[in-house]
Every structure is written in structure tokens, then in C-alpha cells.
Amino acid sequence: MIKRRYPSPQDIGISIPPTLIAERFDRGFAHGVRGGQLDRIDYFRRSFRLGFRAAKLYLRQVRRRCSIVEFPQRFRLRVI
């Protein structure tokens, strides 16, 4: 199994505003970088959500640098 080291917000230059809880922001960022989803009530706290959002924006930027614009999306169409 390959162990990957994901960057922390401080490693990539994201400053955490003083109004947020830094530990929760870091957990949200780590969860977002690893590809998690917001599926628990604890994940909807403001600091966690903003960390999660920062991770998703960071990943979008990394993908663009690697010439990956968007991953294909799966759509489900239901015809009645």
C-alpha cells in the first residue's frame, strides 16, 4: 500500500482566519483532500466546511496544472 502525504493548509500558503477554529479547519481540509463527502452532522460546522471548500479549490487548481480540466460526470436520467 502506498502512503501518501497530503499537504496541510499551511504548507500550501492558506492562512486560517482567526474567527475559525484552526483544528477543525485542518480536519475539514484533510477530509476534502482525501476525497471525503459531507455526510455527517459534524461536517457542517463552519470551520470544517470552509476547510473542506479550501481543499476542493486547491484540488481544482492542482488538476488544472496537470491539464485535467474536469473529471467526467455521471448523470442519471429517468424518463417516465
Question: pLDDT per residue over 6-21, tens digit each?
Answer: 888 889 899 998 999 9
CB 46 within 8 A of CB 25: no
CA angle 63, 17, 13 (to 5 degrees): 40
CB 9 within 8 A of CB 31: no
Spans of all domains in the chain: 22-65
Q: Structure pTM? A: 0.78
Q: Where is pLDDT greater, at 17 or 2? A: 17
Which tens digits make up the pLDDT trace of 19-76? 999 999 999 999 999 988 889 998 999 999 999 999 999 988 888 888 776 666 667 7
